[in-house]
Amino acid sequence: MSSLEAINGLKTSATHAYLDKQYAIACQLYGEQLQAMISYETPGTSVVSDDFGLMKAQLFSNMALGNLKLDDFESCRRLCNAALIFIAHPG
């Protein structure tokens, strides 16, 4: 399985967990997806793009929503701020 397939697999698993109202697990999986993306972007790779940055913004937004559902408002606020940074500066 390629790194991109693994990243997409984490997203699918996280989305299923969220839809099953397993918000803590969903947030953990979204975080793992984010870490996998960061690892994939190491110097020498050619995948770094605005699309990847916008995907990170979406991940931060998803984690924020999960934290909101868990009543963790401070984490939700911090994750929303991170999402806004990636929206403003995706690359």
Query: Mean pLDDT across the stretch 19-43?
Result: 90
Burial of 75 (0-12, 13-18, 19+ CB in 10 A): middle
**Residue 86 — very low, low, confident or very high, per pLDDT cuts 50/70/90?**
confident
pTM: 0.85
The predicted structure's pLDDT at residue 19: 97
24 against 49, higher pLDDT: 24
Q: CA-to-CA distance for 29 and 23, rounded, in angstroms?
A: 10
